[in-house]
């Protein structure tokens, strides 16, 4: 069963509170997406394995620690996930980046796939899929199925806001994927938008509405 972590850190709740306001500007919203993504990533990477490495400080030789293995890969779901990835890259600048292009058909609410480009060694990496919104769960679930079909197994999913309906569907379809959520909201409305939510994340990041 997936481990579902709902972040209860005051900094995250404060920043998401600003993002929810309809008066928040595009620039401020975009900056907050990347800041909150960084804070969630801090928690999502807590259990990464470490390896000992010998180094020299200016004074002595010592054993330090570094992240073990083949390192990490961030996978934003386009478009709205892109800015989360930018934030996380501030913390993990050497991570590789894959892209999955999906949009939600606003009539059927079904995901429509249009792009996928992953690093060639992605199946050896720890993968962090990022998308601000988990609404019906269709887009995130389809993105992860696509990665699994490419032989990728070590996957985590990070989002800023989730609806209970999306969490239920996602964890049922991908019980092997841990989920990190900035805030768990009340429900979906009749158009599949999260309530209270923050509106359409992609439109708010890019000013397209």
Ligand X SMILES: O=P(O)(O)OC[C@H]1O[C@H](OP(=O)(O)OP(=O)(O)O)[C@H](O)[C@@H]1O
Ligand Y SMILES: O=c1cc[nH]c(=O)[nH]1
Residues lying near Mg ion in the complex (CB under 5 A): 200, 202
Taking the CB of residue 148, how many other CB atoms lie within 10 A of it? Answer: 14
Interface of this chain with ligand Y, residues 167 to 196, rule: CB under 6 A: 193-194
- Minimum distance of ligand Y from residue 29's CB (angstroms): 12
Annotation marks residue 203 as catalytic: yes
- Taking CB under 6 A as the rule, does residue 193 contact ligand X? no
- Taking CB under 6 A as the rule, does residue 197 contact ligand Y? yes
Interface of this chain with ligand Y, residues 116 to 145, rule: CB under 6 A: 133, 135
- Taking CB under 6 A as the rule, does residue 135 contact ligand X? yes
Give the residue among 118, 191, 193 at the shortest CA–CA distance from 149.
118
Annotation marks residue 104 as catalytic: yes
Annotation marks residue 20 as catalytic: no
Choose from ligand Y, ligand X, Mg ion, none: what does 194 bind? Cβ within 5-8 Å by kind: ligand Y
Task: Please name the helix (run of DSSP H) or strand (run of DSSP E) that holds residue 89, with its range, or none.
Answer: helix 81-91
- Minimum distance of ligand Y from residue 51's CB (angstroms): 39
- Minimum distance of ligand Y from residue 160's CB (angstroms): 10
- Taking CB under 6 A as the rule, does residue 67 contact ligand X? no
Per DSSP, the residues of 99-148 read: EEEEEE-TTT--EEEEEEE--TTGGGSEEEEE-SEESSSHHHHHHHHHHH
Binding residue ranges for 5-phospho-alpha-D-ribose 1-diphosphate: 79, 104, 131-139, 200
Whether cis (ω within 30° of 0) applies to the bond prior to 123 is no
User: What's the alpha-carbon Rg for the chain, to the nearest Å?
Assistant: 17
Question: Is-contact 113 142, C-beta < 8 A?
Answer: yes
List Cβ neighbours of 179 (8 Å cut-off, separation of 6 or more).
2, 3, 4, 5, 134, 156, 157, 158, 159, 162, 167, 170, 171
Summarize as ranges the residues that interact with ligand Y (CB under 6 A): 133, 135, 193-194, 197, 200-202
Summarize as ranges the residues that interact with ligand X (CB under 6 A): 77-80, 103-104, 109, 111, 131-140, 166, 192, 200-202
Catalytic residues: 104, 108, 200, 203
């Amino acid at each position: 069963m997936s481990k579902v972590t709902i972040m209860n850190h005051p900094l995250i709740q404060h920043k998401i509170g600003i993002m929810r306001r309809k008066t928040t500007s595009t620039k401020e919203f975009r900056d907050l997406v990347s800041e909150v993504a960084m804070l969630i990533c801090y928690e999502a990477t807590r259990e990464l394995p470490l390896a000992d490495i010998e180094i020299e400080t200016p004074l002595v030789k010592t054993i330090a620690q570094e992240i073990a293995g083949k390192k990490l890969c961030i996978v934003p779901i386009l478009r709205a996930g892109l800015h989360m990835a930018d934030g996380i890259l501030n913390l993990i600048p050497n991570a590789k980046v894959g892209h999955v292009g999906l949009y939600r058909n606003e009539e059927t609410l079904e995901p429509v796939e249009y792009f996928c480009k992953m690093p060639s060694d992605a199946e050896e990496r720890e993968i962090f899929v990022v998308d601000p919104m988990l609404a019906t769960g269709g887009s995130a679930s389809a993105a992860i199925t696509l990665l699994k079909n490419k032989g990728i197994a070590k996957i985590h999913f990070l989002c800023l806001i989730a609806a209970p309906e999306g969490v239920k569907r996602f964890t049922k379809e991908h019980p092997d994927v841990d989920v990190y959520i900035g805030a768990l909201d009340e429900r979906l409305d009749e158009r599949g938008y999260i309530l209270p939510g923050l509106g359409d994340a992609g439109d708010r990041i890019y000013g397209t509405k």
